[in-house]
Chain A
Amino acid sequence: QQQVKQSPQSLIVQKGGISIINCAYENTAFDYFPWYQQFPGKGPALLIAIRPDVSEKKEGRFTISFNKSAKQFSLHIMDSQPGDSATYFCAASRDYGQNFVFGPGTRLSVLP
C-alpha cells in the first residue's frame, strides 16, 4: 500500500512536443505529491508539487493533473526541450509520516 507506480519507464519526445508521465498510488492517506527531476550525478530537484484539494497546478511549462478518485496524478511538460532530458520521479507522502515514497522513475529523452 506504500507503493507508488510510475509509467512509462522511458519516454522519447521530439523537441516542442508534450511529455506525459503518469503515477498511481494506493494509500489514501497520502496528501502531498511532488515531482522531482534528476540529472546524472546529481540529487533530485523539486519541480512542482500538488495537494489533493486541487485538480491541477501549473508552473511554467510544467503541469500536474490530479485525480483523487482514481488515485492517479500525472506530469505534463509542454514544449519539451533537449535540456529537459533527465529522469523524473513522482513521490507521495503523508502528513504524519514525513518520508516520501518515490516511484521508480521515467527516463525522458527529448530529441533536438
Chain B
Amino acid sequence: DTGVSQDPRHKITKRGQNVTFRCDPISEHNRLYWYRQTLGQGPEFLTYFQNEAQLEKSRLLSDRFSAERPKGSFSTLEIQRTEQGDSAMYLCASSFGQGNQPQHFGDGTRLSIL
C-alpha cells in the first residue's frame, strides 16, 4: 500500500515564474485535498476534489492558483506569477468514502521563491 506521493519534494524558483506540483493519492481514494503550511503553523485548506469535481475552494486560493484532477486520480496544483508570500509547504491529502473520514497526507512540496 503506497501512501500519498507528491512531486517534486522541493522547488526553488524566481518570483514571477509559474510552478506546478503533482499529487498521486492512495489508489481508490475518491477525495483529494490541497493544503498550504507555513513555518510554525498548521496546514490551511486550499481546495478539495471528489473524484474529478472540485467541490470547495478556500478564499486563500487566489486567481493565480489553479488545481485540476482530470481523471479523478492524480491532481496538479499550479501557481502562476509566483510571489514571495507563496513560499510554503504545499501538502496533498486523500481520503475514501462519504462523510468525515481520516485524511492521509503526503510529505509535501516545499516551495521557495527567490
Contacts and interface: CB of A to CB of B under 8 A. Distances in A.
A60 to B, nearest CB: 16
Contacts of B55: 98
Contact of B45 (A34, A101, A103): A101
Name the residue in A6, A45, A51 with the highest tally of chain B Cβ atoms < 10 Å from its Cβ. Answer: A45
B85 interface: no
A102 B31 contact: no
Interface of B: 4, 31, 33, 40-45, 48, 50, 55-56, 58, 91, 93, 95, 99-100, 102-108
B99 A43 contact: no
Contacts of A46: 102-104
A83 interface: no
Nearest to A91: B42
A46 B93 CA distance: 11
A43 B48 contact: no
Interface of A: 6, 31-32, 34, 36, 41-46, 49, 51, 89, 91, 93-95, 97-105
Contacts of A6: 42
Contact of B105 (A31, A44, A49): A44
Contacts of B58: 99
Contacts of A100: 43, 45, 103
Contacts of B99: 95
B107 A102 contact: no
B56 A42 contact: no
B113 to A, nearest CB: 19
Nearest to B50: A98
B31 A43 contact: no
Given A43-B4, A97-B56, A102 B43 contact: yes
Contacts of B100: 31-32, 51, 93-95, 98
Nearest to A90: B42
B42 A102 contact: yes
